[in-house]
A and B are shown apart, each in its own frame.
Chain A
Amino acid sequence: MLEPISVSLAQLNLVTLSPMLVAIAGALMILLIDLIKKDLDKTLYVMLSILILFVDFGATLSLNINERGFFDLMLIDGVSILGQLIIVIASILFIPLALTSNRFHEFSYPEFFALFLFMVSGFQFMVASDNLILIFVGLETASLALYTLIAMHNTQESIEASIKYFTMGAMAAGFFVMGAAAIYAVSGSIELYDVAKVFQARLMEPGITIPIIGGAVLMLVAIGFKVSLIPFHTWTPDVYEGSSAPMAGYMSIVPKISMMVVAMRLLGFYIDLGIDSIRIMIIILAVVTMTLANMMAIVQEDVKRMLAYSSISHAGFVLAALALDTTKAYSSIFLYYGLFLFTNLGAFTMLWISRAKNPTHHDRYHHPYSKFSGLVQISPIGAVIMAVFMLSLTGVPPFSLFWGKLFIISSVVDAGYIWLAIIMALNSAIAAFYYLKLIVYMFLYAPPADAKRIGYNRSRPLMLIVGIAAFVTTMSAFIMQPLMSYISYMVSVSGY
């Protein structure tokens, strides 16, 4: 006879699940509303999504630090709260981009918003667990929703992008599972804290190195696909080009920070154990990623593709901090993505505002550089704001990403990798070239003869979002102290 399973509610600690449950319940509510009444406007769904995400935000903030729940599957430590906060804030800021003045196909379906919320919950699961299976479930939930969201843009390119992303994502998932299997084979566990203990104990055994490192390498490949490190980056520019600007901007932040958190948990303990080959591998990947991506970004003709390569290069930049295993390095990863969020949000929203139904200035690209030539004479404020985002991406002080770069390079210097810091500095200088290119087009070239406003898609909500992004990007120096001490505190209580 079976033993009755008795689980008390207190033991389950369901509160650890509350942020994700809010998002899921919200998504179901949107579907229900659609079931009851058709023909509701997208503004309703956008506002509902924002409100649901706001509740989600509150639920995340009120989580207690360092708690486990749901059969110990959930791990709410400082890192997971930070990750969830970035995910939720990014989602709140990106969803209003649906309120364009032109009609776009995908936003007329309430399913879009439901899927969006499901995706958010998936990403939240990903960062809030150290169980490899739950991470995988979160990853796949989020990714599958994301593929669909890209395809819903309903152009030929977006379907192509979605399929490309799906294929590559499936491969990454395969690598993730194989990596998890390899880790399980050595340690007999899929809970990372258990795995770390077993590895610690077995590290000295002869012949154990290859399976241990092998598992890590497989995982690194999976992470590489999702964070888009070179040589696993090939999907990135095409997918960014094919998807709508808001989705592309979203992809440059949220999936990456989620996967970075997973990488922190996963690769962190390898580095902690003193397995130097993993550290070296990460550093090589970081250097290769930022250098090659910068080279490729230089030759792009389309601003969105340039931003795709730029986001690859930024990922490489951040990855360097992952190899260091210091509190400051981990904190600066969050700081960097937090600031990158606002800058990229602004840049992609500007592209979105200038997006016409069909390419206007080029037979293939929606946002070729030439589209922006002489923008300062057509729309001075728009040009200045776009220039602020570009300068921030370059790392010119006092704009936000300068502070991100400052802390990352500083933590690299602290860890004693001066040469790496110099490579990173020189890479920032290479990157300056292609960001400047857009500024040069906007400010220094004459507008085309038939110059007209390019804000095809302009609407008040979009301008509000750009305003928020520009404000944070410009004024970030003043929030650096509270922001960085909060992040450092959260990271250090998690034991990183």
Chain B
Amino acid sequence: MENILSVLVFFPLIAALLGILVNEKSIRAYGISVATIEFVLSLWLWMSYDSANGGFQFIEFFPIASDFGINYYLGIDGISLFIVIMATMITLIGIVSLSITKNLKNLIISLLFLEVTMVGVFVSLDAIVFYLFWEFSLVPMLYIIGAWGGEKRVYAAVKFFLYTFTGSLVMLVGMLYVAYIYHSVSGVWSFALTDWYALVLPLSVQKWLFWAFFLGFAIKVPMFPFHTWLPYAHGQAPTVGSVILAAVLLKMGSYGFVRFSLPMFPDASVAYIVPVATIAIIMIIYTAMVAYAQSDMKQVIAYSSISHMGVIILGTFAMNAEGITGSIFQMLSHGIVSGALFLLVGVIYDRTHTKEMSQFGGLAAVMPKYALIYGIMLMASVGLPLTIGFIGEYLSLAGFFKISPIMTLLAGTSIILGAVYMLSLYKKTFFGPVTNEKNKTLTDLNSKELMGLVPLVAIVIWLGVYPKPVLVPIDNSVKALVSFMHEKAQTPEARAIIKVSKSTKEAK
């Protein structure tokens, strides 16, 4: 299929529209079937993807307003391929493990709309089309948080929307400015990323544009100090909302850095390594400490999410092949692990209607399967070797080591701090005697929940032991990207820092 990307984007859209006519009783089966088909389609995409080729594949082009450079322009490379697969997989798992019954139809339709935007963001190569999906993703998420969330859901939903919307509008101004420069250089309008890549901008312009894009992406990631919306959103969102938010929506921001900021503004990115890395390190350490101070289990995971996103940013700004490959792999691992952790919190919340760790204790005796899976995911989150979490974190930090060993050392505390708050969470919740009488009668994971969680466990271990099938395509595309940036960089510092080093092979 030549136009598989369009099929991937529009299949859930059509399914969502048709879903309006499906009977409320059968909507769950409908949602699962649609998400499965979409997931299989994305696997098919992987099968037909040429791993040796680092460039864009499956390119589609259809003019929308071509006089003004706006075209429907899609394509995929190793960087986005796996994020798309992860998005379809997480949506499927999210729908499978849904425990909500209120207004289920609206929820499933919203999830399908959300899937459209998630896939769309990662496959579009036209800035306006990218922006379109990027912005529209806020709408279904607003509804999901606001309608099925906790007590302060409306506040959380509106805060989420306004924060992201503000950042992306500034980014839009940046995009329009790039298009304007492209127009004044070449005489035609274009929002196509591949055209923008060819644009060599003077450093002073790059610096301004870098910050315009930075604001849009940083709020989405979310980077310190723009992270305050995330704990609210996670705290109030229903399980499926948190899962998708953590697993996929946050990745839009970090993906944006790789797709836009680095190749378009290589010199500015190098010039701002120190401030960005400082923010990333603050994120890592500060939010890890905040996570330790939380009494609510979901908040611990929400803050740990921010902390891990810091590692991803750090890896991205290592500006070499290891770092970027590592950060993209870490995006996948964080998506799977944090998605699974939020699912697990949802499981216990469904049973006890609380997320306070003080209410639990000794759950390992009552729910052994639950404790086992929780333990595996927790270890993966901390970055234990032979789990998926280790590889990304290791590569990101190894990449950044070449920039600054001291900063890497500071960032490396994320592993220690992560172990501290995660293990303390595990201790408080699972070990010791069962303190709360009510918890003695809890049932272990049922088959529906296992169906969602076991595949994630399998992936965590599979990719932790044998990451090659995923790493190779990512690495090929990243190497192409980095060598392109190296060619394009103007300042000597940038040329020195951006390079495809030879040690990547060994790191694998």
Residues of A near any B CB (own CB < 8 A) = 376, 391, 394-398, 402, 406-407, 409-410, 413-414, 418, 421-422, 425-426, 428-429, 432-433, 436, 439-440, 443-445, 477-478, 480-481, 484-485
A440's partner among B68, B132, B135, B158 (CB-CB below 8 A) is B158
Inter-subunit contact A443/B147 (CB<8 Å)? yes
Does A429 lie within 8 Å of B143, measured CB to CB? no
Q: Please measure, in the bound complex, the distance between the C-alpha atom of A429 and the C-alpha atom of B135, giving whole angstroms.
A: 12
Bound CA span A193–B177, Å: 35
A436 touches B158 (CB 8 A): yes
Whether, in the assembled complex, B176 has its beta carbon less than 8 Å from a beta carbon of chain A, the answer is yes
User: B146 touching A443 by the CB < 8 A rule?
Assistant: yes
B67 on the A face (CB < 8 A): yes
Near A by CB (< 8 A), chain B positions 79-133 give 106, 128, 131-132
A477 touches B64 (CB 8 A): yes
- 7 more contacts with CB within 8 A, not counting A394-B165, A443-B147, A477-B64, are A397-B136, A398-B136, A406-B128, A406-B172, A421-B177, A436-B158, A484-B68
- Asked whether B139 is an interface residue with its Cβ less than 8 Å from the other chain, the reply is yes
B163 to chain A, nearest CB (A): 9
Query: Nearest chain A CB to B439's CB is how many angstroms away?
Result: 32
Q: Is the CB of A429 within 8 A of B136?
A: no
- B352 interface contact, C-beta 8 A: no
Distance in Å: Cβ of A3 to nearest Cβ of chain B: 54
Q: A409 touching B64 by the CB < 8 A rule?
A: no
State whether the Cβ of B194 lies closer than 8 Å to any Cβ in chain A. Answer: no
Out of B146, B157, B176, B177, name the residue touching A406 (CB < 8 Å).
Answer: B176
Q: B149 CB to closest chain A CB, in angstroms?
A: 9
Q: Are B180 and A429 in contact (CB under 8 A)?
A: no
Check if B170 is an interface residue, CB within 8 A of chain A: yes
- The reply to whether A428 and B157 form a contact with Cβ atoms under 8 Å apart is no
CA distance A397 to B128 in the complex (A): 9
Enumerate 29 A-B pairs (CB-CB under 8 Å) in ascending A order.
Answer: A391-B139, A396-B135, A396-B136, A397-B131, A398-B136, A406-B128, A409-B172, A409-B173, A409-B176, A413-B176, A413-B177, A418-B177, A421-B173, A422-B170, A425-B170, A425-B172, A429-B165, A432-B165, A436-B162, A439-B142, A440-B158, A443-B143, A443-B147, A444-B154, A444-B157, A477-B64, A480-B64, A481-B65, A485-B67
Size range of the chain B interface in the assembly: 35 or more
A428 CA / B135 CA spacing, docked (Å): 13
- A421 → chain B closest CB, angstroms: 5
Q: How far is the CA of A395 from the CA of B132 in the complex (A)?
A: 10
Measured CA separation A402–B168 after assembly (Å):
13
Residues on B with beta carbons closer than 8 Å to the beta carbon of A429: 162, 165-166, 169
B318 within 8 A of A: no
Does B35 interact with chain A (Cβ within 8 Å)?
no
Q: Are A426 and B158 in contact (CB under 8 A)?
A: no
Query: CB < 8 Å: which of B138, B162, B177, B180 contacts A396?
Result: B138
Interface string of B316-337 (1 = CB under 8 A from A): 0000000000000000000000
- How far is B208's CA from A185's CA once the two chains are assembled, in angstroms? 48
Closest to A429 in B: B166
| CA–CA, A439 and B162, complex, Å | 13
The answer to whether B176 touches A440, judged by C-beta atoms less than 8 angstroms apart, is no
Judged by a CB distance under 8 angstroms, whether B70 is at the interface is: yes
B433 within 8 A of A: no
Contacts of A481 in B (CB 8 A): 63-68
What B residues does A413 contact at CB under 8 A? Answer: 173, 176-177, 180
Task: Decide if B197 is an interface residue (CB 8 Å cutoff).
Answer: no
Q: Does B161 touch A at the CB level, under 8 Å? A: yes
Identity of the chain A residue whose Cβ is nearest the Cβ of B167 in the assembled complex: A429
Identify the B interface with A (CB < 8 A).
63-68, 70, 106, 128, 131-132, 135-136, 138-139, 142-143, 146-147, 153-154, 157-158, 161-162, 165-166, 169-170, 172-173, 176-177, 179-180, 183, 208
Q: How far is the CB of B196 from chain A (nearest CB, A)?
A: 15
Are A410 and B180 within 8 A (Cβ)?
Answer: yes
Contact A440 B172 (CB under 8 A): no
Give the Cβ gap from B116 to chain A, nearest Cβ, in Å. 11
Chain B contacts of A409 at CB under 8 A?
172-173, 176
Q: How far is the CB of B187 from chain A (nearest CB, A)?
A: 14
**A410 & B179 in contact (Cβ 8 Å cutoff):** yes
- Alpha-carbon distance between A409 and B131 when the two chains are bound, in angstroms: 15
State the CA gap A481–B136 with chains docked (Å).
21
Residues of B close to A485: CB separation below 8 A: 67
What residue in chain B is nearest A398 (Cβ atoms)?
A: B132
- How many Å from the CB of A426 to the closest CB on chain B? 7
Query: Contacts of B64 on A, CB cut-off 8 Å?
Result: 477-478, 480-481
Ranked nearest first, the 6 interchain pairs of A and B with the lowest CB-CB distance are A425-B169, A429-B166, A397-B132, A444-B146, A481-B65, A480-B65
CB atoms of A440 and B166 under 8 A apart: no
Q: Which residues of chain A come closer than 8 Å to B183, judged between CB atoms?
A: 414
CA distance A381 to B42 in the complex (A): 32
CA distance A480 to B166 in the complex (A): 25
- Residues on A with C-beta less than 8 A from B143 are 443-444
Alpha-carbon gap, A407 to B172, bound state (A): 11
Task: Indicate whether A397 sits within 8 Å of B135 (C-beta atoms), given known contacts A444-B157, A481-B65.
Answer: yes
Question: Bound complex: CA of A428 vs CA of B166, how far in Å?
Answer: 8
Residue with the greatest number of chain B CB neighbours at <10 A, chosen from A418, A444, A484: A444
- Neighbouring A residues of B70 by C-beta, 8 Å: 480
Shortest A479–chain B CB gap in Å is 9
- With contact pairs A425-B169, A444-B154, A481-B64 given, residues A432 and B176 touching in the complex (Cβ less than 8 Å): no
Residues of A close to B136: CB separation below 8 A? 396-398
Question: Bound complex: CA of A189 vs CA of B172, how far in Å?
Answer: 45
CB distance from A46 to the nearest CB of B (A): 33
Check B68 against A432 for contact (C-beta < 8 Å).
no
Shortest CB distance B156–A (Å): 11
Name which residue of chain B comes closest to A376, CB basis: B106
- Taken together as a complex, chains A and B put the C-alpha atoms of A431 and B177 apart, in Å, by 23
CB neighbours of B162 from chain A (8 A): 429, 432-433, 436
| Complex CA distance for A422 and B208, rounded to whole angstroms | 12
Instruction: Report the nearest B residue to A479, measured CB to CB.
Output: B65
Within 8 Å CB of B158, what residues of A?
433, 436, 440
Distance A440 CA – B68 CA, assembled complex (angstroms): 35
CB B257 to nearest CB in A, in angstroms, measures 20
For A428, the chain B residues whose CB sits under 8 A away are 165, 169
Closest to A481 in B: B65
Which residue on chain A has the smallest CB distance to residue B72? Answer: A477
Within the assembled complex, what's the spacing in Å between the Cα atoms of A395 and B169? 10
- Give Cα A418 to B165, complex, Å: 19
Q: Distance in Å from the Cβ of A434 to the closest Cβ of chain B?
A: 11
Is A440's CB under 8 angstroms from B146's CB? yes
CB contacts (< 8 Å) of A477 on chain B: these are: 64-65
A-chain residues with CB within 8 Å of residue B135 when the two chains form the complex: 396-397, 402
What residues of chain B lie closer than 8 Å to A444, measured between beta carbons?
143, 146-147, 153-154, 157
Which A-chain residue is minimally distant from B67 (CB atoms)?
Answer: A485
B172, closest chain A residue (CB): A425
B63 and A414 contact, CB distance less than 8 A? no
Q: Which residues of A contact B65 (CB under 8 A)?
A: 477, 480-481, 484
**Chain B residue at minimal CB-CB distance from A419:** B173
Kindly list chain A residues whose C-beta atoms are within 8 Å of the C-beta of B180.
410, 413-414
Smallest CB separation, A422 vs chain B (Å)? 6
Instruction: Give the CA-CA distance A271 to B301 in the complex, in Å.
Output: 57
Q: How far is the CB of A423 from chain B (nearest CB, A)?
A: 10
Tell me which residues across on chain B come within 8 A of A421, comparing CB atoms: 173, 176-177
C-alpha gap A48/B169 in the complex (Å)? 45
* Beta-carbon nearest neighbor of A441 in chain B: B154
What is the CB-to-nearest-CB distance from B288 to chain A, in angstroms, rounded to a whole number? 31
Which single residue of chain B is at the shortest CB-CB distance from A485? B67
For the complex, what is the distance from the CA of A477 to the CA of B64, rounded to whole Å? 7
A409 to B177, CA, bound (A): 10
CA distance A337 to B161 in the complex (A): 26
Query: How distant is B128 from chain A, measured CB to nearest CB, in Å?
Result: 7
| Residue from A376, A407, A410, A426 whose CB has the most chain B CB atoms within 10 Å | A410
Residues of B within 8 A of A410 (CB): 176, 179-180
Complex CA–CA separation, A39 to B128 (angstroms): 55
Q: How far is the CA of A418 from the CA of B211 in the complex (A)?
A: 13
